[in-house]
């Protein structure tokens, strides 16, 4: 297929996936919709299996993914993580519990490669999926790669009902405490005193341009590449991109959510998303059916791990059990669902505007922080470890 035609077809599929997500209120997420549309195209013969290669996605997508993950690193706010330390600890340990349960249950039932590769996918989102599918493709483990994609596009249906149910229960318990309602009915107005302080590597306003933002992302990605090389590849390049993004953000060289300032975030996200699904071109219906059993095993084991560790964290850190589990299970959906569920719960449970505001102010910061810890940090770190163990 001609390159520009192939690229346009993929643009249309990507747009259709987002429109479906919007119309269904994200019941069918954009990634699930895109995956289904691609599979329909490949299996029906409407799309040539070379369409992603013809569009030159693979080479450029692998390069640009580093910039996307560097930008993810700039969302790490160490001050906020310090304030929400109980949330951070609970979310991280719950994810580790899910991964451990998946590996322990998976090795005897679906094999070492399948269990090890799927565990980081349950723990997070697109970055972890990209790391695992890329590594699995390089090692010729096509079935494990297909399993990762199926788990990635369906895991939201695992976590959202659980989090919604448990957060409603937590909210009902919360409004029984009039002291808590009074405390949280007004949003926290504290702000960081250091917010206006100039950072060591912060550039003058003259450099606040999209072209400069892209150049800075590229420079940090280069630093991450050579830092990964210095470790002998023990720390994966993408993991190092996340670390360097956080470091250079803390030093002031990178701005928060810098990718959104480049005027190219949509295009970069498109390339990375399509790259994740590149293995679908060679995926057969039989392969998809064959991973449904392992999918159930991974889902049950992952949820069991979150429940077990969440119970322990709730006891030790004095958190409601439902909240602790919801913090951990946020790994299966991430942002913006971590924002939407607290809003829906507040509207459903709050009996007046005061209670609704209190519930939202209580749940929202915690769920946002948990989703960030699980999807952005823990999943990438765990994927980096898993790649080295394959």
- Closest CA relative to residue 298, chosen from 31, 93, 120: 120
- Tokens in use for 246? 């956080």
d(CA 187, CA 191): 12
| pLDDT the model gives residue 26 | 60
Place of tokens 């560790």: 309
d(CA 245, CA 247): 6
Provide the residue ranges of all domains of the chain, joining segments of one domain with +.
1-55
Sign of CA dihedral 271, 263, 336, 331: positive
Question: Do 279 and 142 contact (CB within 8 A), yes or no?
Answer: yes
d(CA 241, CA 67): 8
d(CA 60, CA 39): 22
Write out the chain's pLDDT in tens, 390 residues. 899 999 999 999 999 988 987 787 666 767 778 888 998 999 999 999 899 989 988 778 778 888 988 888 887 777 767 888 999 999 999 999 999 999 999 999 888 888 998 889 998 777 788 888 888 888 888 888 888 888 888 887 788 889 989 999 999 999 998 888 888 887 554 444 444 577 888 889 889 999 999 999 999 999 999 998 998 877 878 888 888 998 999 899 999 889 889 988 888 889 888 887 887 887 788 888 888 889 999 999 999 999 999 999 999 999 999 999 999 999 988 766 787 788 888 888 888 889 998 998 889 888 888 888 888 788 888 888 888 887
Omega prior to 39 cis, within 30 of 0: no
| pLDDT the model gives residue 210 | 92
Q: What is the dihedral of CA 75, 81, 87, 89, to 10 degrees?
A: 110
Give CA separation, 110 vs 183, 254, 292, 293, in Å: 49, 43, 11, 9
d(CA 174, CA 166): 12
d(CA 119, CA 247): 27
d(CA 159, CA 154): 10
CA angle 26, 343, 92 (to 5 degrees): 80
| pLDDT the model gives residue 305 | 96
- Tokens in use for 281? 């071109």
């Amino acid at each position: 297929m001609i390159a520009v035609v192939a690229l346009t077809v993929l643009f249309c599929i990507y747009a259709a996936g987002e429109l479906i997500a919007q119309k269904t209120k994200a019941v069918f997420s954009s990634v699930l919709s895109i995956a289904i549309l691609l599979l329909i195209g490949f299996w029906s013969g409407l799309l040539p299996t070379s369409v992603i290669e013809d569009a030159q996605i693979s080479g450029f997508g692998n390069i640009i993914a580093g910039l996307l993950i560097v930008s993810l690193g700039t969302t790490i706010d160490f001050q906020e993580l310090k304030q929400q330390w109980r949330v951070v600890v609970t979310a991280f340990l719950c994810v580790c519990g899910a991964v451990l349960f998946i590996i322990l249950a998976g090795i005897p039932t679906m094999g070492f490669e399948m269990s090890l590769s799927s565990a980081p996918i349950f723990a997070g989102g697109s970055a972890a999926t990209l790391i695992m599918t890329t590594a699995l493709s390089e090692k010729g483990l096509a079935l494990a790669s297909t399993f990762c994609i199926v788990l990635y596009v369906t895991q939201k249906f695992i976590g959202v009902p659980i989090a919604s149910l448990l957060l409603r229960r937590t909210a009902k318990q919360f409004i029984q405490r009039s002291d808590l309602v009074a405390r949280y009915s007004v949003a926290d107005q504290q702000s960081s005193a250091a917010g206006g302080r100039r950072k060591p590597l912060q550039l003058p306003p003259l450099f606040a341009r999209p072209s400069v933002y892209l150049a800075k992302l590229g420079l940090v990605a280069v630093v991450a590449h050579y830092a990964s090389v210095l470790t002998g590849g023990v720390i994966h390049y993408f993991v190092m991109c996340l670390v360097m993004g956080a470091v250079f953000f803390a030093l002031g060289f990178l701005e928060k959510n810098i990718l959104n300032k480049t005027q190219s975030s949509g295009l970069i996200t498109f390339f990375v998303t399509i790259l994740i699904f590149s293995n679908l071109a060679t995926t057969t219906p039989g392969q998809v059916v064959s991973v449904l059993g392992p999918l159930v095993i991974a889902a049950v084991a992952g949820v069991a791990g979150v429940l077990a560790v969440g119970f322990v964290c709730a006891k030790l850190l004095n958190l409601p059990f439902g909240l602790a589990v919801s913090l951990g299970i946020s790994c299966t959906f991430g942002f913006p669902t971590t924002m939407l569920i607290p809003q829906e719960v507040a509207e459903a449970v709050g009996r007046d505007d005061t209670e609704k505001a209190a519930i939202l102010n209580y749940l929202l910061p915690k769920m946002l922080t948990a989703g960030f810890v699980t999807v952005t940090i823990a999943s990438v770190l765990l994927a980096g470890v898993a790649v080295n163990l394959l």
